[in-house]
Amino acid sequence: MRPKVIAVDLDGVVLEYDGWRGHNNFGKVKEGAKEALAEFKKRGWVVVIWTTRGRVDKVEKYLREQGVPFDYINENPYGPPDSSRKIHADVYIDDKAVRFRDWEQARSEVIRILEAKE
């Protein structure tokens, strides 16, 4: 049986983030992140860090130095074979997510979020 998988965004969720400053620049670990991820792992769930950063080696080194618990970065060996790069997960935690219920709700929420940034 496949374990439960949680895909967690790195910047803005696990780490503080105020814009891209290069591959060697990381924000501080957000309060509660280590504890929450440790609890997920204690429950037997797989924690996948999901990031658009291209230098996974640097991400892994930084997270290990900070004591952030995780299982994988940008990969899930429990996903369906021959699947795309998108991480197959039971739950996604992301700071830019819009939870989909139906298209009317999604459309309204996207418009509200993006217009607030103008």
Mean pLDDT of 111-115: 90
Backbone φ and ψ for 92, nearest 5 degrees, come out as: -120, 135
Structure confidence at residue 85 (pLDDT): 75
- Domain residues for 91? 5-116
Counting every residue, how long is the chain?
A: 118
> In this predicted model, what pLDDT tens digit does every residue of 8-23 receive, in sequence order?
999 999 999 999 999 9
CATH code, domain carrying 12: 3.40.50.1000
- Distances 106 to 71, 93, 99, 118 between C-alpha atoms, Å: 31, 17, 7, 19
**Count of domains observed in the chain:** 1
> In this predicted model, what pLDDT tens digit does every residue of 60-108 receive, in sequence order?
999 999 999 999 999 988 888 877 778 889 899 999 899 899 999 999 9
